Chain A
Amino acid sequence: AQSVAQPEDQVNVAEGNPLTVKCTYSVSGNPYLFWYVQYPNRGLQFLLKYITGDNLVKGSYGFEAEFNKSQTSFHLKKPSALVSDSALYFCAVRDDRTPDTGRRALTFGSGTRLQVQP
């Protein structure tokens, strides 16, 4: 079984400050990890993914995430937050045990609401 934990329901940060949204995971095989952002009444937008390779992954809108295998974490970061970054962020995982045929769904964390104050 696979699972994702996002320990913070909400993260508050001032505009211009760095932000971190935490995520830890559990999978049987090697993890494929994803971050998505959701704006009100919208679907999820893909931000970045880790499949293999460099532990630091860069994604859309200046976001990055660091894969840490020993800590089973994949925290989302941004050096300087914008008010427009305020949204709901989801971490998701899929394991690599099955062939990549597009048939495996993602398991999502509970979500973290990011609030960036002007």
Chain B
Amino acid sequence: GAVVSQHPSWVICKSGTSVKIECRSLDFQATTMFWYRQFPKQSLMLMATSNEGSKATYEQGVEKDKFLINHASLTLSTLTVTSAHPEDSSFYICSARDPGLSNQPQHFGDGTRLSIL
């Protein structure tokens, strides 16, 4: 079945560092990928929709310059947290769905735990 791979799993870095997270669809081409953020004991909040070959669509309240999204190919989307600060610490999860198969569920990466010191 469809698989989404996310890397890295854990990141611990100093404040002010920029961090890149990769999301790959392993056996299908994803024209659209989704980036979510999850705070402890809370639900997933959609941050942005990543569109291959065009600009990402950000949800209200999400800073575009803070969370840079690049969907350079049909199997890869990246989320870069620029100049990260402790308040950016969170669990980030990507997902995608095979557009070639109708009514299929979204498949999720295993998430990236980001800790900013």
Is the CB of B75 closer than 8 A to any CB of chain A? no
Q: Is the interface of A mostly helix, strand, loop or mixed?
A: loop
CB pair B43–A108 under 8 Å, yes or no, is yes
Identify the closest chain A residue to B10 (Cβ).
Answer: A41
In the assembled complex, 22 residue pairs joining A and B whose CB atoms fall closer than 8 Å, in A order, are A32-B103, A34-B106, A41-B91, A41-B111, A42-B111, A43-B93, A43-B110, A43-B111, A44-B108, A45-B108, A90-B43, A101-B32, A102-B96, A102-B97, A103-B49, A105-B34, A105-B46, A106-B106, A108-B44, A109-B43, A111-B42, A111-B43
Q: Mark A94-118, 1 if CB is under 8 A from B, else 0.
A: 0000001111011111110000000
Is the CB of B16 closer than 8 A to any CB of chain A? no
Identify the closest chain B residue to A41 (Cβ).
Answer: B113
Q: How many residues of chain B are within 8 Å of chain A by beta carbon?
A: 31
Q: Whole-angstrom distance between the alpha carbons of A42 and B111 in the complex?
A: 6
Q: Mark A30-43, 1 if CB is under 8 A from B, else 0.
A: 00101010000111
Identify the closest chain A residue to B47 (Cβ).
Answer: A105
Is the CB of A27 closer than 8 A to any CB of chain B? no
Identify the closest chain A residue to B59 (Cβ).
Answer: A105
Q: Whole-angstrom distance between the alpha carbons of A72 and B4 in the complex?
A: 31
